[in-house]
Amino acid sequence: MDINILLALQAFRNGPGAFLSGFLSKMTWLGELNTTIVIMALIYWCVSKDYGSYFLMGWSGNRLVNGMLKVTVCAYRPWIRDARILPYGDSITTATGYSFPSGHTMNAATVYGGGAIRKDFPRVLRVVLGLLVLLVGFSRNYLGVHTPQDVLVGIVAGTLVMYLTMKLMQWVKDHPEKDILVVCIGVGLAIAVAIYAAVKPYPIDKDETGKVLVEGAKMANDTFKGVSWCIAFLTGWILERRFVRFSTDISMMKRMTRLTVGLLSYYVVSLIVVPVVKSWIAGVPGTFVSCYLQMFYVSFIFPWIIKRFEKNDE
């Protein structure tokens, strides 16, 4: 039934619904990895450190949950299950790893769904954010890269993680001395997920020529990325709390400066440093180190730069 739904959407996309393709391609972009990281980083650096920490903490948890579910269920992408599914444009290039659940949808459930469930956000904003989650999820079906159940579980699981994260961050606020416990448990869970992904057996289904349809070890790479991002955020978060303690209670000029410098420097790290590291270090170690650097820059290095240089300007 799920494939039939995608075929119906495909026929609609190639016919009367063609006018929606550009719009929904942009909606799916809102759930992409770098888009959500940039949004969370800018909130963390420039708008509200508390809200930014909440989003980044929840996103780290969602990457772990997504990675664990992907390598547990091992669901093939729609076009592998049925050759009649032809994803729209180049959307297939960002569809990595196993299919279930949708990573883009869980990213959206973090950043937009995480805002939609907060009662301290304006009602209109919460409605718009909730609508964005639904649009990102539907775009994954419309583009032919995920089944409806991939998206539905992504929304539910992602939103549930954000609800639990909201409770966790309130607990940390009430018990600030227990933050190290959160880090230890989080890192422990991340390591457990990595070990699970590394040692579990994967399906070895072959096509009519005898070629393996999907290499499980390659698909597990997304899970190792999630583990690295999670550990990087947690270690950067605790180090920032102990040794940096930057503030977002600043002037508009400082916010604009942070936004400009932060965006530029993040893209230098993400688009130059990370690829160089991957070219130097092959395999899973390269994946871990490069992803760690990317998130550690967001959670600790740039806040440290902020604190140092803004102090010198005073």
Min mean pLDDT across 57-61, 142-146, 161-165, 203-207 is at 203-207
3-state secondary structure of 146: coil
DSSP string, 47-79: I-HHHHHHHHHHHHHHHHHHHHHHHHH-PPPHH
Give the chain's domain count.
1
Q: Confirm whether 313 is domain-assigned.
A: no
Of the pLDDT bands very low, low, confident and very high (cuts 50, 70, 90), residue 253 is: very high
pLDDT at 244 over 80: yes
Of the pLDDT bands very low, low, confident and very high (cuts 50, 70, 90), residue 79 is: confident
pLDDT at 89 over 80: no
Q: Find the domain containing 209 and state its range.
A: 2-245
Q: Confirm whether 280 is domain-assigned.
A: no
First-to-last alpha carbon distance for the chain, in angstroms, is 63
| Segment 219-238 mean pLDDT | 94
Q: Confirm whether 276 is domain-assigned.
A: no
Model confidence pLDDT, tens digit, residues 10-25: 898 988 888 888 899 9
pLDDT at 247 over 70: yes
Model confidence pLDDT, tens digit, residues 188-223: 999 999 999 999 989 887 777 777 777 877 788 889
Which of the pair, 106 or 206, is modelled with greater confidence? Answer: 106
pLDDT at 95: 67
Please name the residue that has the structure tokens 């990281």. Answer: 37
pLDDT at 228 over 90: yes
Angle subtended by helix axes 221-239 and 283-296, to nearest 10: 40
| Torsion angle of C-alpha atoms 65, 71, 74, 77, degrees rounded to 10 | 70
Dist CA 153 CA 143 (whole Å):
18
pLDDT at 179: 95
3-state secondary structure of 93: helix
Percent of the chain past pLDDT 90, that is, above it, reads 73
Of the pLDDT bands very low, low, confident and very high (cuts 50, 70, 90), residue 314 is: low
Q: Confirm whether 202 is domain-assigned.
A: yes
pLDDT at 204: 83
As given in the structure block, the two tokens for residue 2 are: 């799920």
| Segment 111-120 mean pLDDT | 95
pTM of the predicted protein model: 0.93
| Segment 248-269 mean pLDDT | 94
Q: Which of 125-139, 194-208, 298-312 has the highest mean pLDDT?
A: 125-139
pLDDT at 90 over 80: no
Q: Confirm whether 286 is domain-assigned.
A: no
Q: Cβ neighbours of residue 53 under 8 Å, at least 6 residues apart?
A: 44, 169, 237
Largest CA distance in the chain: 70
What pairs with residue 206 in β-bridges?
212
How many whole angstroms from its chain centre is CA 311? 32
The CA-CA-CA angle for residues 3, 137, 16, to 5°, reads 65
Count of all residues that appear for the chain in the document:
314
pLDDT at 24: 92
As given in the structure block, the two tokens for residue 175 are: 């018990």
Q: Confirm whether 298 is domain-assigned.
A: no
In one letter, which amino acid is 153?
V
What pairs with residue 212 in β-bridges?
206
Q: Average per-residue pLDDT in the chain?
A: 91
Please name the residue that has the structure tokens 């963390």. Answer: 44
| Segment 110-121 mean pLDDT | 95
Q: Confirm whether 264 is domain-assigned.
A: no
31, 98, 151, 155 from 144: Cα distances, Å: 15, 14, 12, 17
Q: Confirm whether 52 is domain-assigned.
A: yes
Rg (CA), the chain: 20
